[in-house]
């Protein structure tokens, strides 16, 4: 048998409340058990005892690159090509801004209608700031490759559609972008820790992503940014903060970018969040990403088969072909919001995306076939007995 490294699941490495089936790791990963002790030691021994000395003696300053290397291994990037900090929206802005400067004669930022709105909003904000005739061109996901025309400066595409789970072919789209002379920026928000990614083989210029979804770094965990090593030294950072300076502690009056990806750092790193993330990333030691992908497909296929045979009111809203899907499955249902609330009340946690999409994430680290079957038992009960039809489940919270 092929050696797949650590066999999944590894439920014992996570805090999972008794009785809960957690199918929302695509939005916020659960708490890895190692995080609590690490954070507590950091607060007690490092912050508590070392205070400002921690920047050197505990190497808080080197943490964004150290953690970046841990993420790099999961997305097929070389050491030293990824750094951590800020939120994903900010990293999208930085990469977009660098990309349009690399193609000064072109005026189009290309994206697709399946992209997460924040990426589109950041592009709009950048365009307003540039105050020239830039255009954000949004096409259907199926049309991205053919929309790579010679006026496109940069394409910003999220590999896995947050609503449908539809998976873009990174290699083919990147090749189309390069053929047209465009810069390629991949958003890996729903890919990192969910599907195998090989940035080196893909040869895109930029990639960004967040770490609170499949990487389980906790709410507000810092984002990552990758730039291809051969172009990184040409980047002129838009957010030219002191920690992206070549010599922050020289306190020069003028900005000079740091070498390599460190120029994409902005300000003081969130050391507590970064410490939680660093501990969280240790669960990936020894995990083979292809094994993870195989397990993810098996779970998603089982879920689809069970739902389609037992819950006829739901319509599959994700690609049927597993090769075209990330690690989530969505179903459309007219009363999807209320049905999801009813599920959550019964400890099966997924989420809802307007207008009618019930979304379920499958994370092979801590979900197995048994969980899938139990989740569908509850879902069938909610539908068969109209348990969703309760005023308590109609009221929308601030976060859906
Ligand atoms: C989750 C997600 C975001 C969120 O951005 P934050 O700045 O971290 O809040 C942005 N883009 C995509 C594609 C996402 O999936």
Q: Which of 206, 157, 146, 135 is nearest to 180 (CA)?
A: 146
Q: How many CB atoms lie within 10 A of CB 344?
A: 16
pLDDT digits (tens, 9 = 90+) for 24-44: 999 999 999 999 999 999 999
Q: How many CB atoms lie within 10 A of CB 253?
A: 4
Structure tokens at 333: 């249902």
* Whether the Cβ atoms of residue 299 and residue 361 lie closer than 8 Å to each other: no
For 211-279, strand residue ranges (E) read 224-227
pLDDT digits (tens, 9 = 90+) for 203-236: 999 999 999 999 999 999 999 999 999 999 999 9
Atom 8 of ligand 1: nearest residue by CA position: 88
pLDDT digits (tens, 9 = 90+) for 59-92: 999 999 999 999 999 999 999 999 999 999 999 9
- Ligand 1: residues with CB < 6 A are 87-89, 116, 118-119, 158, 162, 187, 189-190, 210, 223
Percent of the chain predicted with pLDDT > 90? 96
Q: Which residues of 193-206 are buried (b: 16+ CB within 10 A; e: fewer)?
A: bbbebebeebbbbb
Does residue 2 surpass a pLDDT of 80?
no
- The verdict on whether 116 is a catalytic residue reads yes
- Predicted TM-score of the model (pTM): 0.97
Report pLDDT for 42.
98
pLDDT digits (tens, 9 = 90+) for 132-150: 899 999 999 999 999 999 9
* Whether the Cβ atoms of residue 102 and residue 86 lie closer than 8 Å to each other: no
Does residue 131 surpass a pLDDT of 90?
no
Catalytic choice (58, 112, 119, 187): 187
DSSP assigned state of 298: H
Residues paired with 257 in a beta bridge: 245
Q: Which atom of ligand 1 is nearest to the CA of 116?
A: 13
Percent of the chain predicted with pLDDT > 70? 100
Catalytic choice (13, 213, 295, 325): 213
DSSP assigned state of 137: E
- C-alpha distances out from residue 137 to 101, 117, 152, 286, 357, Å: 18, 14, 9, 41, 25
Task: Using the mean position of ligand 1's atoms as its centre, give its distance from the Cα of residue 56 in Å.
Answer: 32
DSSP assigned state of 10: -
Q: For residue 398, name the pLDDT band (cuts at 50, 70, 90).
A: confident
Average pLDDT over residues 119-127: 98
- The verdict on whether 368 is a catalytic residue reads no
Report pLDDT for 1.
56
Average pLDDT over residues 83-102: 98
Report pLDDT for 395.
82
Residue 215 CA to residue 194 CA, distance in Å, equals 9
Report pLDDT for 4.
80
Q: Which of 201, 218, 221 is nearest to 209 (CA)?
A: 221
Please report which helix (H) or strand (E) contains residue 339, including its range. Answer: helix 336-345
Q: For residue 237, name the pLDDT band (cuts at 50, 70, 90).
A: very high
For the chain, strand residue ranges (E) read 14-15, 21-22, 31-32, 82-84, 108-112, 135-139, 152-158, 183-187, 206-209, 224-227, 315-316, 328-332, 348-349, 351-353, 357-361
Atom 1 of ligand 1: nearest residue by CA position: 189
Average pLDDT over residues 242-270: 97
């Amino acid at each position: 048998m092929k050696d797949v490294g650590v066999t999944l699941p590894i439920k014992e490495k996570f805090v999972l409340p008794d009785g809960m089936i957690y199918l929302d790791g695509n939005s916020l990963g659960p708490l890895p058990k190692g995080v609590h002790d690490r954070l507590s030691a950091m607060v007690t021994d490092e912050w508590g005892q070392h205070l400002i000395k921690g920047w050197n003696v505990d190497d808080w300053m080197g943490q964004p690159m150290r953690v970046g290397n841990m993420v790099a291994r999961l997305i097929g990037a070389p050491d030293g090509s990824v750094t951590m900090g800020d939120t994903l929206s900010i990293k999208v802005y930085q990469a977009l801004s660098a990309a349009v400067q690399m193609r000064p004669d072109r005026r189009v930022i290309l994206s697709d209608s399946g992209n997460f709105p924040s990426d589109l909003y950041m592009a709009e904000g950048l365009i307003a700031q540039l105050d020239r005739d830039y255009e954000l061109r949004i096409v259907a996901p199926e049309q991205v490759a053919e929309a790579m025309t010679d006026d496109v400066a940069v394409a910003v595409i999220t590999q896995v559609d947050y609503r449908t789970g539809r998976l873009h072919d990174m290699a083919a789209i990147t090749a189309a972008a390069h053929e047209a002379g465009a810069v390629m920026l991949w958003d890996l928000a729903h890919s990192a820790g969910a599907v195998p990614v090989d940035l080196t083989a893909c040869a895109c210029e930029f990639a960004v992503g967040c770490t609170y979804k499949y990487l389980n770094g906790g709410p507000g965990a810092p984002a990552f940014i990758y730039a291809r090593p051969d172009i990184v030294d040409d980047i002129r950072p838009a957010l030219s903060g002191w920690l992206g300076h070549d010599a922050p502690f020289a306190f020069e009056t003028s900005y000079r970018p740091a070498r390599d990806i460190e120029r994409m750092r902005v300000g003081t790193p969130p050391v507590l969040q970064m410490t939680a993330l660093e501990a969280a990333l240790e669960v990936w030691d020894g995990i083979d990403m292809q094994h993870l992908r195989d397990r993810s497909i098996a779970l998603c296929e089982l879920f689809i088969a069970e739902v389609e045979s037992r819950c006829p009111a739901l319509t599959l809203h994700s690609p049927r072909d597993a090769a075209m899907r990330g690690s989530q499955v969505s179903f459309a249902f007219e009363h999807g919001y209320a049905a999801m609330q009813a599920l959550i009340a019964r400890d099966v946690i997924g989420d809802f995306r307007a207008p009618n999409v019930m979304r379920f994430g499958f994370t092979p680290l801590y979900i197995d076939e048994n969980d899938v079957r139990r989740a569908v038992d509850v879902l069938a009960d909610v539908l068969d007995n109209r348990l969703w039809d309760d005023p308590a489940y109609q009221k929308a919270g601030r976060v859906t």
